[in-house]
Structure 1
């Protein structure tokens, strides 16, 4: 649906262009979640919103979306493996929020194209 499309490749390129955010120290807010917790929570929120907006999706389509989201999170884990369990910095938090929104946009675009 999305992981085999050019838009996903561009999203991963966007991530690689901003890896420096995850390679440098930064300010951590009190009670900051870990990088992986924030990734999982943010992407889950975006996909829940996506499914609520697209009530016409059938069970097979929703299952495909879940499989692809699992793959996206796996890709993020591979790229960010060295920082996954560290508290997220404020700058990383902003990037992950934006990235998660872009993931949702990919699915929105895929549904429109169907």
Structure 2
């Protein structure tokens, strides 16, 4: 649906270009009690709920396909950010993850539009 599309590849490239946001950050600089992985899961979850809510005509099968895709995306993010997943998240990282999650939602919106 989306993980096999060029747009997803571009998003992963976008993430890798911004990995410096996740490097050399100590927990002392963080004011949040949430970790990076918790924020990723929450933001992706919210955006996928938005996709399904905005597209109420999606079949059960289509919704399951979306969930499988999100699991795959989450796996990719865990692989890329494995060294820092359990670190407390900074405001800058939160902003980036929110933006990234919205871009993922946009990929799903586009895929649904063209189905």
Smaller-chain TM-score range? Answer: over 0.9
CA offsets per residue over residues 75-108 of structure 1, 9 Å max, x none?
Answer: 0000000000010011111100100101100000
Task: Provide the C-alpha distance between the structure 1 equivalents of 2:33 and 2:13, rounded to a whole number of angstroms.
Answer: 26
Matched with 1:10 is 10
- Counterparts of 1:42 and 1:86 in 2: how far apart (Å)? 17
- Unmatched 5+ stretches in structure 2: none
Partner in structure 2 of residue 39 of structure 1: 40
Q: Is the 8 A contact 1:32 1:89 kept in 2?
A: no
Q: How far did 1:113 drift?
A: 1.2
CA RMSD of aligned residues (A): 1.0
Distance in 1, matches of 2:100 and 2:6, equals: 16
Partner Cα distance (1:24, 1:62) in 2: 38
Structure 1 alignment gaps of length 5 or more: none
Q: Is the 8 A contact 1:2 1:106 kept in 2?
A: yes
Relative to the length of structure 2, the TM-score reads 0.95
Alignment of 1:96-107 (within 5 A): 96-107=97-108
